[in-house]
Amino acid sequence: MSNDRAIAAVTATLRNMLFQAVSSDADLAGTTVTTRPPDRARQDGTTSNQINLFLYRTSIDAAWRNQDPPGLRPGESGQPPLPLVLSYLMTAYGEDDDEVLAHRLLGVGMQMLNDQPLLPPAAIAAALSGSGLEDQPDRVRITPHPIPMDEISRMWATFGTGYRISVSYDAAVVLIDNTRPVRAPLPVLARSPGDEGPFATARAAPWLQLAAPPGGQPGARPGDTVTLIGQGLGGVSQVQVSGDALSGPQLLAAVTAPDGSLTVQLPTETPLPAGIVAVTALVTAADGSTLASNASPLALVPVITNDGPIAGTLDNGSVTLEVTCAPPVGAQQTVALVVGDQIVAGTTGEAGSEPRTSLSFTLRGFTTGSYVVRLRVNGQDSIPVVAGQASFDPNQRLELS
């Protein structure tokens, strides 16, 4: 790969190639090839034949922008190279301002770049040593790049010099190597202690389509029976439940129903924390290996355990309420109380604190009356409706006086 000399190497190579092209014509002997801005091309007072090559823009090649470094092997990591497109403006000047000679010089230069659209590696190495550009995997290609008349007019106006007929070319791609080192990790000896490698089995893994809470509820509460619907669930005796609020994956017993579905009862003694969890069906193959299904999401909702409606007395429009719940709210779980249609944020527990079954909420700006309340933990609301009835649960009401 090339280094920071690559831009200069392209310019020097093009200058040498143009000089060789005009030198091979006896009528153009003595022509100079310069690499100056247009306003300085003739400032030294020279009146001889001259071709000026000016690098007026560098841009990023989009195709190479996010490519891995060339030669990177699988498993290795490295930063992409800097891929540049170099835009040049070639202008010709005839001896004693002879425009015919200038046009002839311009034709010689354009013919050379048309005949040699790829920069030869040997020419790059001879023009500027130490750039490494000659060793990059992609050859540097020269292509015409016509400039709109309004853009080229602005360019010449910027230099404050008279306009001359010119032609623009792009040189791409120029790859400048990233200086950050490539990381090559050691090979993995085993995936885990006692790893025996992959195994083959004739049984297909089970597939879960849906984890459905009972009664069409939006979520499952502690003690609820969840139905798992899918394919190939015969022989599944356990399911794995995992989630951010869990300390680790939990295994629950599963029972196969006559219709091929599974039923899983959520624990009440050590209930799973509220939030979204992933449920995976596990089946043991004949060789003792375990096949796991895809993961299906399941919403676990909290339950307000206050005995009867929650009561509070307003003091200057505010009141502090204590709400008890199950399962316990763990550290870092977000809590809120939805009172009617208003959300009252609670306090998140400190990292490492014990799970809480009692939560405190301060209400402000409320008036006396009766409100339906919902406890929200990790984005999941308690269910305020009595199961199987079109009425609100009286234990999830707030009476403010």
Fold category of 303-400 in CATH: Immunoglobulin-like (2.60.40)
Cβ neighbours for 178, distance < 8 A, ≥ 6 positions apart: 69, 78, 79, 80, 81, 82
User: Phi and psi for 179 in degrees, rounded to 5?
Assistant: -80, -10
The pLDDT value recorded for residue 40 is 92
The tens digit of pLDDT for each residue in 128-137 reads 999 999 999 8
Q: Is domain 6-176 classified as CATH 3.30.70?
A: no
Q: Is domain 207-300 classified as CATH 2.60.40.10?
A: yes
The pLDDT value recorded for residue 351 is 75
The pLDDT value recorded for residue 200 is 65
Q: Where in the chain is the domain with CATH 3.30.2000?
A: 6-176
The pLDDT value recorded for residue 29 is 84
Low-confidence residues in the chain, pLDDT < 70: 1, 192, 194-203, 286-288
Q: Where in the chain is the domain with CATH 2.60.40.10?
A: 207-300
The pLDDT value recorded for residue 1 is 65
